[in-house]
Amino acid sequence: MASDPDWARYDGAADVLTLRVHVQPGAKIPGPGGIHGDRLKIRIAAPPVEGKANAALRVFIADAFAVPQRNVELVAGESGRKKTLRVLSPRLRPDRAWAQEPTADI
C-alpha cells in the first residue's frame, strides 16, 4: 500500500481520511493543482461568495473519493483558503496520485 502524503492522514480504524488543502476559488481549470506549502492545492471554479466555493469543494472531493457529499465534512477553514476536510469511508484514494503532480505556483 502506498504511504500517505503529508497533507493527507488516513485512520484505518475509523475509516476516515483527513485532508489539508489550499483552495483557489474562481479558477478557470478546476481540479488538483499540486502542492502549495504543506497542503494540497485544489482549484475550484465557483467564486468565494456565500459558501459557493465550499459547496463546490465538497462536491469535488465527494466525486473524487467516490463518496456521498454527506461523507465530506469541512472541519476547519470555513472562510479561508486553508481548509481541513474529513472524508468518511473513502472508496477511492486519488490523493496518492495527486501527491505525485508538480508543485503549484506559490
pLDDT for residue 102: 64
| Domain-embedded: residue 103 | no
| Domain-embedded: residue 2 | no
**106: pLDDT confidence band, cut at 50, 70 and 90?**
very low
What does the pLDDT average to over 85-104? 86
pLDDT at 105 over 80: no
| Domain-embedded: residue 92 | yes
| Domain-embedded: residue 91 | yes
Q: List pLDDT tens digits, range 35-91.
A: 999 999 999 999 999 999 999 999 999 999 999 999 999 999 999 999 999 999 999
**103: pLDDT confidence band, cut at 50, 70 and 90?**
low
pLDDT at 2 over 80: no
Count of structural domains within the chain: 1
Range(s) of the domain holding residue 54: 8-98
- The three-state (H, E, C) secondary structure of the chain, written as one string: CCCCCCCEEEECCCCEEEEEEEEECCCCCCEEEEEECCEEEEECCCCCCCCHHHHHHHHHHHHHHCCCHHHEEEEECCCCCEEEEEEECCCCCCHHHHCCCCCCCC
Greater confidence (100 vs 95) lies with 95
| Domain-embedded: residue 26 | yes
| CATH number of the domain encompassing residue 82 | 3.30.1200.10
